[in-house]
Amino acid sequence: MQRARVSQISAYENEAVEIRGWLYNMRSSGKLHFLQIRDGTGIIQAVVFENDVPAKVYAACGELSQESSLIVRGTVRREPRSPQGYEMGVTDIEVVQHAADYPITPKEHGVGFLMAHRHLWLRSSRPHAILRIRSEVVKACRDFMDEQGFTLIDAPIFTPAACEGTSTLFEVDYFGDKAYLTQSGQLYSEAAALAFGKVYCFGPTFRAEKSKTRRHLTEFWMIEPEMAYCDLAEDMTVAEALVAYVIKRVLDNRSAELEVLQRDTGLLQKATPPFPRISYTEAIELLHERGSDIQWGADLGGDDETILSAEFDRPVLVHRYPRQVKAFYMKTDPSDERLALCVDMLAPEGYGEIIGGGQREDDLHVLEERLTEHALPREPFEWYLDLRRYGSVPHAGFGMGIERVVAWLCGLHHVRETIPFPRTLSRLYP
């Protein structure tokens, strides 16, 4: 008997097939059992009628429990009464393993309970939909980079020093030396950009900050493109194109999953280029008009970002922040010494910063001054300074946080649902 996947079930109408999966839910009515079977690609209803199967098979159905693994055989038929439009008329069932007392019932649970059972929760429809969208986002990012001529050059996870200071890093013992889990692959991407022209790295990133908000994880994934002979304007154009590409791919390929999440896709469909671009200084003026008392020179807080993004129906690029609130490697704006040639992209609907980047300081002596200003040790950055000694060029790049993008596309309240096994201040299990 041929093995069918639930997602392809319409191709097997009126054929006898076998489905290997798990019992998602079950209802019974007299001499009928309705089994909701999931196989990872979807859910299909299998109907067991007492008169159609051997007594032993019908009796076995009565013993079934949620998430028992089983192989069902039967005939696929179109059936409007079935929740999925198709169902299987069962002729035989083989129980692979009987699962007793599955903890996650089809009723409501709190986030704490579900996260403690994350290894099982992945089987439920909501996480299933979110993680398939995440998978699509990741693939879209890689496809975009490939199509645009970028080379994947991944950065190390163990690093000898911080990109932006050591306070937020996880320290590990590295054969007696101190090492840190990476906070960004950017410095390494810069080295790679001067070798390959256009590169990106895509990997996990670690922050030891004790942030307890819906936008933070201690371990998250970031894609970081870096381009040689590139200025801030071109950097922003690439960032905009990447985000637009990802949105379109998710809308095109994951509409069923967005439907499961009841995401209003109208807002996503409107998010097409060009995205609005405003300077930090314009943003401050706008915030003042909206009643904020933020001072010029201060970094934008979460509330400020929410106010700003509410002004637009698509992501907004905020560029040229004050230099003092940005990292040491940001290039100074030649037309205004107070500013850095940097950019943040803020997602709509209060999802905050999804991209941060800018043009890098390419002058050796200025960069040395910046290291001193930021009180950073010189020695761990010698290799980085070499990049300015040997064929330095204007270059730029950015980092995009995958979880925040997925949270926005899915319309989620918290980023922890966008990663299979979230790591937060209070969660290292499972």
Partner RNA sequence: UCCGGCGUAGCUCAGCUGGCAGAGCGGGUGGCUGUUAACCACCAUGUCGUAGGUUCGAGUCCUACCGCCGGAGCCA
Contact (Cβ atoms closer than 8 angstroms) between residue 283 and residue 297: no
Window 144 to 203, contacts with RNA (CB under 7 A): 164, 168, 184
Could you tell me the CA-to-CA distances from 396 to 29, 238, 399 in Å, in that order? Answer: 65, 10, 11
Judged by CB under 7 A, which of 260, 325, 364, 376 binds RNA? Answer: 325
215 near RNA (CB under 7 A): yes
Number of residues that bind RNA (CB under 7 A): 72
SS3 for 299?
coil
Per CB under 7 A, the list member of 111, 122, 172, 393 interacting with RNA is 111
**Per CB under 7 A, does 232 bind RNA?**
no
Least distance CB 53 / RNA (angstroms): 12
Q: Which residue reads 């696929």 in tokens?
A: 76
Which residue lies nearer to RNA by CB, 66 or 392? 66
Does 106 interact with RNA (rule: CB under 7 A)? yes
Joined together, the tokens standing for residue 361 give: 């300081």
If the CB atoms of residues 2 and 29 are measured against RNA, the closer one turns out to be 29
Instruction: Give yes or no for residue 389 binding RNA (CB under 7 A).
Output: no
Smallest gap from Cβ 389 to RNA, in A, equals 26
Q: Which positions from 344 through 373 interact with RNA, judged by CB under 7 A? A: 344, 352-356
Bridge partners (DSSP) listed for residue 342? 358
Lay out the site mask for RNA across 59-98 (x = CB under 7 A, - = otherwise). Answer: ------xx------------x-xxx---x-----------
Containing 32, the helix (H) or strand (E) segment is strand 32-38
Q: How far is CA 31 from the centre of its chain?
A: 46
Binding map of RNA across residues 18-57, x = CB under 7 A, - = no contact = -------x-xxxxxx-x----------x-x-xxx------
Does 331 contact RNA by CB under 7 A? no
Question: By CB under 7 A, is residue 383 in contact with RNA?
Answer: no
In DSSP terms, 371 is beta-bridged to none
Footprint of RNA on 284-313 (CB under 7 A): 299, 301-303, 305
Rule CB under 7 A: choose which of 7, 135, 213, 255 binds RNA: 213
**Joined tokens for residue 52:** 């159609």
CA distance 1 to 73: 8
* Cα–Cα distance list, 81 to 77, 84, 85 (Å): 11, 9, 7
Residue 40 per-residue DSSP state: S
Out of 38, 216, 314, 331, point to the residue binding RNA (CB under 7 A): 216
Q: Please, what is the minimum distance in Å from the beta carbon of residue 34 to RNA?
A: 3
- What's the Cα-to-Cα distance from 193 to each of 105, 182, 342, rounded to whole Å? 50, 19, 18
DSSP 346-409: EETTTTEEEEEEEEBP--HHHHHHHHHHTT--SGGGHHHHHHHHSS---EEEEEEEHHHHHHHH
CB of 79 to RNA, least distance (A): 5
Of 37, 72, 217, 396, the residue at the interface with RNA (CB under 7 A) is 217
Q: Compare residues 150 and 329 and give the one whose CB is closer to RNA.
A: 329
Query: Which amino acid, 394?
Result: P
Round to whole Å and give the CA distance between 167 and 392.
29
Note whether 426 binds RNA by CB under 7 A: yes
Least distance from RNA to the Cβ atom of residue 38, Å: 13
